[in-house]
Amino acid sequence: MMPDLDPTTDLSFTRTLAAPRRLIWECWTTPEHIPHFFIPAPHRVTAVDIDLRVGGRFNTTFEVEGAVMDNKGVYLEVVPETKLVFTDAYTEGWKPSPEPFMTAILLLGDAPGGGTTYTAIARHRSPDSRKTHEDMGFLEGWGTVATQLETYARGLAR
């Protein structure tokens, strides 16, 4: 299930989340859940538009320190409760983006005790863009997102 990683262009981490895989999947694929975890607080998601299918849109709008950022993307692979791959290299209708940043791969598996093994991979088109993402705080940022996701999903499980 784990794709081959290229250390020159890929960043990744794996963590066990104390929430069931079905809820982690639901959070990542349902628009109303995304604002609760998708970017590190205090930044916030202000809009989400999802068409969950290969070629379907995954569009989000963020507010970061007063700046509004539109992120348009497309799903490349959707394997229910197991794998989600999306990229900003294309938008819906397979229209190329002028300045793509990365492709994200999320892998979900069952962990002991009813939790989820959560792997996040960010693939970049060049070592320079990988380095930029690493310097931006990939591990910290995506780690914070994983913690926010776990907390939010655990609240849904009640």
Q: What is the pLDDT of residues 44-90, one digit of tens each?
A: 999 999 999 999 999 999 999 899 999 999 999 999 999 999 999 99
The pLDDT of residue 3 is: 77
Q: Name the band, by pLDDT with cuts 50, 70 and 90, for residue 2.
A: confident
Residue 118 pairs in a beta bridge with 15, 108
**pTM (2 d.p.):** 0.93
Which residues lie below 8 Å from residue 61, measured CB to CB, with a gap of 6+? 45, 46, 47, 48, 68, 69, 70, 71
Cα–Cα distance, 9 to 5 (Å, whole number)? 8
Q: Name the band, by pLDDT with cuts 50, 70 and 90, for residue 1.
A: low
Structural domains of the chain ordered from first start: 12-156 (3.30.530.20)
